[in-house]
Amino acid sequence: MTTDAAPVPLLEVQGLTKRFGSLVANDDVTFTVRAGEVHGLLGENGAGKSTLVKSLYGIHQPDAGRVVVDGRDERIASPSHARDLGIGMVFQDMRLIPALTVWENIALQLRDTPRVLKPRDAQRAITDASAHYGLDVDPSALVRDLSIGEWQRAELLKVLLAGARVLILDEPTSVLTPQEADALFDVLRRLTADGVGVILIAHKIREVRQIADRVTVLRGGRTVLADTDPHELTDAELVRAMVGTSVKPVSRRPEPTDETADAPVVVSLRGASVLRPTGVLGLDGVDLDIRAGRILGVAGIAGSGQGELADLLVGVAPLRSGSMELPGLDARGTTTGDLRVAGVVDVVANPVHDYVVRGMTISDHVALWEATTAGRRRFDVRGAATTFARRDERAGLRAADPSRRLDQLSGGNIQRVLLTLALTQDARLVIASYPTRGLDVLTTERTHALLLEARDRGEAVVLVSEDLDELLALSDEVVVLHHGRVAGTVPAVDADRDRLGLLMTEGAA
């Protein structure tokens, strides 16, 4: 008997290939997950990360290759089969039922849910697990009332209580603030201490450094770096593995000045209030001047009114009280259509939900975009491919071929299409909500450059982001929202993380 033999990995993938028609999304991929480790799965947008984990969770059937779970070859036929094998997945577009409570959602997924369920028992099991893993969430809360962080913790509890020993997280941090991401990583450490193996897809090098014990990098569907200790690599080497070339750092932006503080006002809000669908005020008496040629950063903890502000500015949400004046926009009214034609461009927070039309190609979306921004009813689908090629060249985000279906692109590649349209539009006002969510390292940098270019062309840019570093790097001024009110407006020249953080959590002094 040997005592020093390496333990059998929880999960091993050998030579896995997955095609969609002629497209090879995973090409001869090798991948291993061991008990007690966080394995970072990295790569550019479209590299094949989500496709790989979907094969492990039984959503896709690979065309070739082996998947070995606990030392046994398995053909994972479905997600419920994956769960039976101890493989759990938390999706980015979360899958809880909003009208049910947290415990009801979890009970629905438990393997041994009895036909007649005792709510008290289910709630106790959830409370115990939530204390053990530090996953703080109220079991009796309705899911629709949860913040995005709570929602994610509920999803995690659901997967853990269903008995997952391999936990797959596809870009869990892209919707979290850095503090929430840190809290999630604390949970992951407790899980690995219990012997769980975690597959974590993430784009930010900082996060990989913080949490990953091993990394695997995919590029163009192939494994280009397998099962490596990230501490053996520099940041530049990691990025090079992902993108295939070495990358020069982009030039730093000049020191912030307040020269444009008196630029013409494009939109002016006075006492602006907006109701949420639930009937409570999401935006509450906000005074704000949005000026040409400036980037106005919007900071706040999740649900502080950022969404309502964006919805108001693009005409989706009506004013409950107060006023919205549009001196810098030649708009007939404040409907979405009027504002679009007047040059208001919307980078929506959740494109898969609010922008992508199932079954339609990129060209179809381009034609729709062109028609609505011009206030036309005619769609020119044939001209769209040419227009898009021109925009793609200008934006430099390397968007996918316009003949492809938008809903079949990877998450980051959908975002690139939307950004290619939005940031090449001759706009007066750009509302960019979380524009770099889900983007890989290079595309994030290029998007930042495009936002600065829009500003320098004289466009007014409203940048909503949960990433304070991003806000501080790009904004000329940051407005902090707290419970729907303006807690403070800080010029970039005197903004720092601590000051913004305090306003975000404590509100106005």
Ligand X SMILES: Nc1ncnc2c1ncn2[C@@H]1O[C@H](COP(=O)(O)OP(=O)(O)OP(=O)(O)O)[C@@H](O)[C@H]1O
Applying CB under 6 A, which residues contact ligand X? 20, 23, 25, 43, 45-51, 408-413, 438
Cβ-contact 450, 160 below 8 angstroms: no
| Closer residue to ligand X, CB minimum distance, 130 or 174 | 174
| Closer residue to ligand X, CB minimum distance, 139 or 411 | 411
Position closest to ligand X via CB: 412
Q: Which does residue 131 touch among ligand X, Mg ion, none (CB within 5 to 8 A, set by kind)?
A: none
| Closer residue to Mg ion, CB minimum distance, 88 or 411 | 411
User: Residue written as tokens 């959740």?
Assistant: 350
| Closer residue to ligand X, CB minimum distance, 49 or 153 | 49
CB of 408 to ligand X, least distance (A): 4
Q: Quote the distance between the C-alpha of residue 451 and its chain's center.
A: 18
Q: Which does residue 47 touch among Mg ion, ligand X, none (CB within 5 to 8 A, set by kind)?
A: ligand X
Residue 465 — φ and ψ, nearest 5°?
A: -155, 150
CB of 413 to Mg ion, least distance (A): 9
Buried b vs exposed e over 156-187: b needs ≥16 C-beta within 10 Å?
Answer: bbbbbbbebbbbbbbbbbbbbbbebbebbbeb
CB of 358 to ligand X, least distance (A): 12
Four-residue CA torsion sign, 231, 33, 245, 421: negative
Name the CA radius of gyration of the chain, rounded.
Answer: 24
CB of 167 to ligand X, least distance (A): 17
CA angle 285, 355, 376 (to 5 degrees): 90
85 closest CA partner among 71, 68, 69, 62: 69
Q: Which does residue 48 touch among ligand X, Mg ion, none (CB within 5 to 8 A, set by kind)?
A: ligand X
| Closer residue to ligand X, CB minimum distance, 217 or 299 | 217
CB of 349 to ligand X, least distance (A): 17
| Closer residue to ligand X, CB minimum distance, 409 or 419 | 409
Q: Which does residue 260 touch among Mg ion, ligand X, none (CB within 5 to 8 A, set by kind)?
A: none
Helix ranges restricted to H, 76-214: 79-84, 102-109, 119-133, 148-161, 178-193, 205-211
Kindly state the tokens that stand for 331: 């708009």
Neighbours of 258 (CB within 10 A): 13
| Closer residue to Mg ion, CB minimum distance, 40 or 411 | 411
| Closer residue to ligand X, CB minimum distance, 409 or 450 | 409
CB of 47 to ligand X, least distance (A): 4
Three-state DSSP at 232 gives helix
Window 406 to 465, contacts with Mg ion (CB under 5 A):
410-411
Q: Counting contacts by CB under 5 A, is residue 306 touching Mg ion?
A: no
Three-state DSSP at 365 gives helix
The span of 42-50, 141-149, 243-251, 453-461 binding Mg ion (CB under 5 A) equals: 42-50
Q: How many CA atoms lie within 13 A of 149 on its CB side?
A: 18
Q: Which does residue 62 touch among ligand X, Mg ion, none (CB within 5 to 8 A, set by kind)?
A: none
CB of 183 to ligand X, least distance (A): 23
Greatest extent of the chain over all pairs of C-alpha atoms, in Å: 82
| Closer residue to Mg ion, CB minimum distance, 172 or 411 | 411
DSSP secondary structure letter of residue 7: P
Q: Which does residue 51 touch among Mg ion, ligand X, none (CB within 5 to 8 A, set by kind)?
A: ligand X
Q: Percentage helix, strand, coil, to 5, in the chain?
A: 35, 25, 40
Residue 87 — φ and ψ, nearest 5°?
A: -105, 125
7 closest CA partner among 31, 35, 48: 35
Q: Which amino acid belongs to residue 493?
A: V
The span of 22-30, 252-260, 360-368, 405-413 binding Mg ion (CB under 5 A) equals: 405-413
Q: Give bridge partners of residue 288 from the DSSP assignment.
A: 269
CB of 44 to ligand X, least distance (A): 7
Helix ranges restricted to H, 403-440: 411-422
Q: Which residues contact 22 (CB under 8 A, 6 or more apart)?
A: none
User: Residue written as tokens 């407005």?
Assistant: 479
Cβ-contact 125, 160 below 8 angstroms: no
Residue from 26, 32, 50, 152 binding Mg ion (CB under 5 A): 50
CB of 309 to ligand X, least distance (A): 27
| Closer residue to ligand X, CB minimum distance, 20 or 147 | 20
Q: Which does residue 395 touch among Mg ion, ligand X, none (CB within 5 to 8 A, set by kind)?
A: none
Position closest to Mg ion via CB: 50
Q: Which does residue 484 touch among Mg ion, ligand X, none (CB within 5 to 8 A, set by kind)?
A: none
The span of 44-52, 274-282, 439-447, 500-508 binding Mg ion (CB under 5 A) equals: 44-52
| Closer residue to ligand X, CB minimum distance, 46 or 435 | 46
Q: Quote the distance between the C-alpha of residue 291 and its chain's center.
A: 28
In the chain, count of helices (H) and strands (E)?
17, 19
CB of 405 to ligand X, least distance (A): 7
Give the total of residues touching Mg ion (CB under 5 A).
3
The footprint of Mg ion (CB under 5 A) covers 50, 410-411
